Amino acid sequence: MASDEDGHARKFYGRRRGRRLRPWREQLFDEALPRYGLPLPEEDAAAPLDPAALFGEPVDALWIEVGFGGGEHLAAQAKAHAQARFIGFEPFVNGVASLLRYLEEARLGNVRVHADDARPVLERLPDASVDRFFLLFPDPWLKKRHHFRRFIQPETMALLARLLKDGAELRIASDDMGVARWMLAHVTEHPAFEWLARRPGDWREPPADWVQTRYEGKALAQGRRPVYLRFRRRPRGQDVG
């Protein structure tokens, strides 16, 4: 099993199951997941992945969302950007069932779903293959001894720098200032990324084409103000070291 700099074994620490799935959701899961699931070749679990093979057609623009929760954001983006191809990652089965319902209702054929930890699959994607990457309200892991579980770490920044195309956008949000600071520090410390804030207070305003997520809606209803961070992958060769 892969491990981080401090030797923590890398595994997924979040919830995989919540309330028992209602029978129609269970059926949706069983019937629709094989259709929308990421078709990973079984013979070699470490083989590099070709986006064209995953979608059965050439892929001009690949957008990724890690931890899509109930899938509201992913489904809305996939509907609004029909030319792009999307891969969504979410190990929480209730969330996956929710996304599958949106995909079925809107007949969205440009989405592939992986109902598990994103990291082992991301590591198999080619260099400079991703056009946009969403990490929205990732698990905060507030206790200091759990910080190593956070998605954004030096090694994930190296992975994102490798995966994103020159000029590609990395979009992050959180409703916790400690987590937002952590993510901002890790991303801006990486020479490949430039923060796109233009004015003081920019990080309090969602981007123009923003789609509210389920978790964000709950945070707003409880009076918390989210932070919205947008970064650009600098052109290769122009990394600021």
228 is an interface residue for ligand SAM by CB under 6 A: no
4 is an interface residue for ligand SAM by CB under 6 A: no
The residue with its CB nearest to ligand SAM is 67
- Backbone angles phi and psi of 152, in degrees to 5: -80, 115
Q: Name the catalytic one among 4, 116, 139, 202.
A: 139
What sections of 81-199 are H helices per DSSP? 93-106, 119-122, 154-163, 177-189
CA dihedral 199, 220, 73, 66 (to 10 degrees): 80
Minimum separation from the CB atom of position 189 to ligand SAM (A): 21
Q: How far is CA 203 from CA 78, 146, 156, 175, 184, in A?
A: 24, 26, 22, 11, 11
Torsion sign (Cα): 16, 127, 241, 191: negative
95 is an interface residue for ligand SAM by CB under 6 A: yes
Size of the site for ligand SAM (CB under 6 A): 24
| Catalytic status, residue 139 | yes
Q: What is the chain's percent helix, strand, coil content, to nearest 5?
A: 35, 20, 45
117 is an interface residue for ligand SAM by CB under 6 A: yes
Minimum separation from the CB atom of position 18 to ligand SAM (A): 10
Interface pick for ligand SAM out of 78, 213, 228, 231 (rule CB under 6 A): 213
CA–CA separation, 17 vs 26, rounded Å? 12
HSE-up of residue 221 (Cα within 13 Å, Cβ side):
7
174 is an interface residue for ligand SAM by CB under 6 A: no
CA–CA separation, 237 vs 130, rounded Å? 18
Minimum separation from the CB atom of position 173 to ligand SAM (A): 7
Cβ proximity to ligand SAM: between 193 and 228 the closer is 228
176 is an interface residue for ligand SAM by CB under 6 A: no
Minimum separation from the CB atom of position 238 to ligand SAM (A): 30
Q: Which of residues 10-29 bind ligand SAM (CB under 6 A)?
A: 12, 14
Interface pick for ligand SAM out of 63, 92, 182, 203 (rule CB under 6 A): 92
151 is an interface residue for ligand SAM by CB under 6 A: yes
224 is an interface residue for ligand SAM by CB under 6 A: no
| From 162-170, 191-199, 203-211, 214-222, span contacting ligand SAM (CB under 6 A) | 214-222
Token output for 168: 């590609």
Work out whether strand 111-114 and strand 164-174 pair parallel, antiparallel, or are unpaired. unpaired
CA dihedral 224, 88, 121, 154 (to 10 degrees): -20
Residues labelled as active-site residues: 139
Which chain residues interact with ligand SAM by CB under 6 A? 12, 14, 66-70, 89-92, 95, 117-119, 136-139, 151, 213-216
